[in-house]
Amino acid sequence: MARDLAIDLGTANTLVYMKGRGIVLNEPSVIALNRQTGEVLATGREAWQMIGRTPGYIVAVRPLRGGAITDFEITERMIRLLLQRVGVSRFTRPKVVICVPSAITEVERRAVTDAARRAGAADANLIEQPMAAAIGADLPIDEPVGNMVIDIGGGTSETAVISLGGIVALEAVRVGSFDIDAAIQNYVRREHGIAIGERTAEEIKVAIGSADPTHDENQAEVRGRDLMTGLPKTVLLTPEEVRFAIEDVISSIVSSVIRCLSKAPPELSQDFLVRGMYLVGGGGLLRGLAERIERETEVPVKMSNVPLEAVVLGAGHVIEHYEALKGMFMGARR
Amino acid sequence: MSVVVIIVVIVVVAVVLGLGLRSRTANDGVDSFRRQIDALSPEARKPTIDQVKSAERLDDDDRADGDDSAP
């Protein structure tokens, strides 16, 4: 008998929660393929290490972009391999709950459930990421009070107001931490004339990236390929430059939080001033982001204890109480 | 006469069944909402959170053991 699963199918990472066992898999959402034969060569961490470093016949790709499936066939193969790794076979078909961005279209929704069913799931249901995040972050969403959660993922940023187990107001933008990396890549190319890869841009973001000035402002040495000469070159990058480079992305995220606040009913709005908003997701770990949102909204912002695992934990809780919580699945209320 | 009695009986049974179903449907909504709210309570969520925390503790212990054995 298969144990039921909850999957946080993120643009950056995929996490799997197994009923009664907890989180059993946490890997980058990357798959490496042989370009000629289409054969899968690696998935997860192993494939992630190949990004930008592969010979011509290998391609390491992220099949999800902006929280949406960009390549249905590759996503299906990735889900099938993930399920195999956690023990799902053709004889053990579990029920699966998958977390998806709330703004996905009907077509994308069907693509995800179809991919999971073809990959071996007996039944596949979807739950909105902010709802799962609020459950996983242990917010008191069973009470008639305003709970606000900001989930900043790799490809999407979602803000939701939740009360009595339901979403009251929601705002989502297809902008996330990958857009921050891309903005850094573009800036370094434009201003310093060197080309850097996706992984280097991410390392810069982690090392010196911030949304608001911080106490320890260090410069970073960045190595890339000179666009003029084609030779390797090193330049120095300051935190101010990175802040300037990512400003548009940060503004877009902060604006969506403000729009969500303005949609909330007044009775719940007053709760936020006391209880604050909760930040989850890998993007929320960017230094100074909580302070920046707090400064612009004048509402306290708190970091969840489990920012990276909150979504899958929430979905895991749903799978543990499947019968009682199946009314929370996307489409069940409509 | 007997036809009228049969019709009356059928109507009465239908009304009783209808009322029963209606009240059951109304109660179903209340019950399922109650179940959902109960399942979202901090007490209900505690085992899920604790399960993951204890798994993390085990992972940390394993890592610490690994560090100890490192040269």
CB–CB contacts below 8 A, A to B:
50
Q: What are A123's strand-pairing partners?
A: A95
pLDDT at B70: 40
pLDDT at A170: 94
pLDDT at B69: 45
Mutate one of A321, A328, A329 to test the B interface: name it (highest B CB count within 10 A). Answer: A321
Residues of chain B positioned with their CB less than 8 A from the CB of A138: 42, 45, 49
Residue B43 lies in a domain: yes
Question: Which positions in chain B have a beta carbon within 8 angstroms of at least one beta carbon in chain A?
Answer: 32, 35-42, 44-45, 47-49, 51-52, 55
Residue B21 lies in a domain: yes
The segment(s) of chain A belonging to CATH 3.30.420.40 are 5-131+310-328, 142-304
Reported ipTM: the value is: 0.78
Determine contact, residues A98/A301, Cβ cutoff 8 Å. Answer: no
pLDDT at B71: 38
Of B35, B39, B51, the CB nearest to A22: B51
Residues of chain B positioned with their CB less than 8 A from the CB of A306: 52
pLDDT at B24: 59
3-class SS string, chain A = CCCCEEEEECCCEEEEEECCCEEEEEEECCEEEECCCCCEEEEHHHHHCCCCCCCCCEEEECCEECCEECCHHHHHHHHHHHHHHCCCCCCCCCEEEEEECCCCCHHHHHHHHHHHHHCCCCEEEEEEHHHHHHHHCCCCCCCCCCEEEEEECCCCEEEEEEECCEEEEEEEECCCHHHHHHHHHHHHHHHHCEECCHHHHHHHHHHHCECCCCCCCCCEEEEEEECCCCCEEEEEECHHHHHHHHHHHHHHHHHHHHHHHHHCCHHHHHHHHHHCEEEECHHHHCECHHHHHHHHHCCCEEECCCCCCHHHHHHHHHHHCHHHHHHHCCCCCC
Whether the per-residue pLDDT at B65 is higher than 70: the answer is no
Residues of chain A positioned with their CB less than 8 A from the CB of B57: none
Residues of chain B positioned with their CB less than 8 A from the CB of A140: 42
Of B35, B37, B45, the CB nearest to A317: B45
* Closest by Cα among A312, A184, A177 to A253: A177
Below-50 pLDDT ranges, chain A: 334
CATH architecture, domain A5-131+310-328: 2-Layer Sandwich (3.30)
**Nearest residue on chain A to B48, judged by CA atoms?**
A317
Tell how strand A301-303 and strand A277-280 pair up.
parallel
Residues of chain B positioned with their CB less than 8 A from the CB of A164: 37
Tens digits of residue pLDDT in B1-58? 678 888 888 888 888 777 766 665 666 788 888 898 899 998 898 888 777 777 666 6
Q: Could you list the residue range(s) of the whole structural domain that residue B61 is in? A: 2-66
Q: How distant is the Cα of A140 from the closest Cα of chain B, in angstroms?
A: 7
Q: Work out how many domains chain B is built from and give that number.
A: 1
Of the options 3.30.930.10, 3.30.1600.10, 3.30.420.40, 3.20.20.70, the CATH number for the domain spanning A142-304? 3.30.420.40
Tell how strand A68-69 and strand A95-100 pair up.
unpaired
Residue B71 lies in a domain: no
Whether the per-residue pLDDT at B68 is higher than 70: the answer is no
